[in-house]
Amino acid sequence: MKKISVSPSKNIVRKVHIIDAANVPLGRLATKISILLMGKHKRTIKNNIDGGDIVEITNAAQVKMTGRKFEQALFYRHSRYPGSLKTQTAAEVLKKDPRKLIGGAVYNMLPNNNQRKDRMNRLRFNS
């Protein structure tokens, strides 16, 4: 019978990565951030232990999108009342709160499991 050894999560050393988002395409930025949050860049990765690092983003309002995605990409909100569907373009979301644009892209690139919320809590914005 195999024995499973679980190392305690108290021994995890989290490094702080500071990423400048100025003139970086949103998809490439979100991919890089999600890899750092999951800890896939480390040699000591284990699926059952969240060993990812802390990521701080600077210049979030200067993120870039290729093509005409700023005008064509739409974001929807609904309060579940009839007729309350709100639509915003990516440019409007970026102008109002750039954290929602980058955070949403990173959130969708993380795997849908119990560790997703903890990983998103390690994403910080310094604008």
Q: Tell me the pLDDT tens digit for each residue of 64-119.
A: 999 999 999 999 999 999 999 999 999 999 999 999 999 999 999 999 999 999 99
The burial class, CB within 10 Å (0-12 / 13-18 / 19+), for 29 is buried
Q: Quote the longest CA-to-CA distance of the chain.
A: 59
Confidence tier at 44 by pLDDT (50, 70, 90) = confident
Torsion of CA 62, 95, 124, 24, to 10 degrees: -20
> Which residues, including other chains, have CB under 8 Å from residue 21's CB and lie 6 or more apart?
29, 57, 58, 59, 60, 62, 63, 102
Evaluate whether the domain defined by 14-126 bears CATH number 3.30.1330.120.
no
Residue ranges covered by each domain of the chain? 14-126
The Cα–Cα gap between 52 and 77 comes to 31
Helix, coil or strand: residue 92: helix
| Residues 10-32 pLDDT 10s | 778 899 999 999 999 999 999 99
The pLDDT value given to residue 24: 97
The Cα–Cα gap between 27 and 30 comes to 5
Say what the pTM is.
Answer: 0.86
